[in-house]
Amino acid sequence: MFHNVQHGLLALYPALEHLPELLASLQATEVPAGTVLFQEHEACQGFPMLLSGEVRVSRAAANGRELELYRVVPGEMCLVSSASLFAGQLLSARGTTTVVTRFTLLSPPDFERAMAQAGFRHFVLGLFAARMADLTALIEAVAFQRLDCRLAGSLLGHGQQVRATHQALADELGTVREIVTRLLHRFERDGLVTLSRECITIQNSAALRALATGQNA
């Protein structure tokens, strides 16, 4: 089991090869879906590295609305955690597992020591830049795209049937369930989808794609 953890980490985070003593000290933890790994306004406990599973990182507003910022899968980096460690500040978002997740946590002192090693530093900063690009794209989508276009885009790419609640779609889009429900009923009236319990069946993917790209805006 020990060697499997080290092998898995090296395959996903190859820069750890330059830190053999640190790699040897890392242990994996497995948690169920729905586990909150970190919360807004709390001190960061370390740099998470996923072996399996997925973490949804989101930001909540005072009115209860929530916006998904990004998701972390094995081999990727949590921007919020690393930014908190870089700046020595409290966390600015919440991280929740979406499925059973296995991960290891690099403590703040170990993260600081690891960043002194050029290979690991370049690896982390490269992941940081890629995640920032994703976040910039999200900001652009939220600021400049109509919600109906974004909803149409979120329905595409999942096959003919999208199994998701209206609340889950609202959380993904950073809006409220009532607005998503209203838009979905409009899509149904227009012949784009058929609605049933926790399932949306795509009836006209071409029209949805045109709406998602703004051609029908």
Q: For residue 142, what pLDDT is reported?
A: 65
pLDDT in tens, the chain (217 residues): 546 788 899 999 999 998 999 999 999 999 999 999 999 999 999 999 999 999 999 988 666 677 888 899 999 989 999 999 999 999 999 999 999 999 999 999 999 999 999 999 999 998 888 888 877 877 766 665 688 898 999 999 888 899 989 998 988 887 888 889 989 999 999 999 999 988 999 999 999 999 988 765 4
List of long-range contacts for 66-73, beta carbons under 8 Å, 24+ apart: 66/171, 66/174, 67/142, 67/174, 68/171, 68/172, 68/174, 69/93, 69/135, 69/138, 70/131, 70/134, 70/135, 70/138, 71/98, 72/48
**3-class DSSP state of 129:** helix
Task: Report all structural domains of the chain as residue ranges with CATH numbers, in order of start.
Answer: 2-143 (2.60.120.10), 146-212 (1.10.10.10)
Whole-model pTM: value is: 0.66
